[in-house]
Amino acid sequence: MAAHKEVVFGLYDDEVDLMNAVKKAKADHLEIMDVYSPFPVHGLDPILGLSESRLHIAGFVYGMLGTLTAFLGMTWIFTKDWPIVFGGKPYWSVPAFIPITFELTVLFASIGMVVSFYTVCGLGPGVTNPYLDNRITDDKFCIAFDQNDVSHGQAESFFQSTGASAVKTKTI
């Protein structure tokens, strides 16, 4: 795991205050460690300057892998490995393959994306989840600074000027 961080964070009561604070932090060139909110705040990503997730590209690749696995697998099984006539249809009956091809595409894409997501985020069994404040999952909106990037005094005055309801520090 990464080294411990000294985090100073402010809690806001309202997502509008949060948005304005994030805009101010960007304008003041304060490096934000992270922003936490109980629900996805619309319009926050572009203000934070987060780039678009590439997970969907991985998902497409996994999906195509599933398509190929199912289609080529069934082709091999039903024409080479164990050809059986079903209902007078030809061995290579594409319409009959479509439902299974669809299912495996979905299965590969979903499992592949879940595994990729967990790997990228460092999630998995036995991971401890350092949280800053209980109420971030309830009704508070939080901006956190790493004290290596932003000094405590700087952060405090920033939180006061943007209307944070509480300022706290924690080592995670």
From the list 45, 6, 29, 15, the residue with the least C-alpha distance to 158 is 29
Q: Rounded to whole angstroms, how far apart are CA atoms 88 and 119?
A: 47
Determine how many CB atoms are found less than 10 A away from the CB of residue 65.
15
Residue (85 or 127) nearer to another protein, CB: 85
Three-state SS at 91: coil
Determine how many CB atoms are found less than 10 A away from the CB of residue 9.
24
Of residues 95 through 154, those in contact with another protein by CB under 8 A are: 95-96, 98-99
Residue 23 contacts another protein per CB under 8 A: no
Q: Rounded to whole angstroms, how far apart are CA atoms 169 and 110?
A: 38
Q: Which of 49, 88, 122, 124 is close enough to bind another protein by CB under 8 A?
A: 88
| Least distance (Å) between residue 150 CB and another protein | 30
Residue (98 or 120) nearer to another protein, CB: 98
Three-state SS at 160: helix
* Binding pattern for the stretch 29-68 against another protein, x by CB under 8 A and - elsewhere: -------------xx--------x---x---x--------
| Least distance (Å) between residue 80 CB and another protein | 23
Q: Which residues bind another protein (CB under 8 A)?
A: 42-43, 52, 56, 60, 87-89, 95-96, 98-99
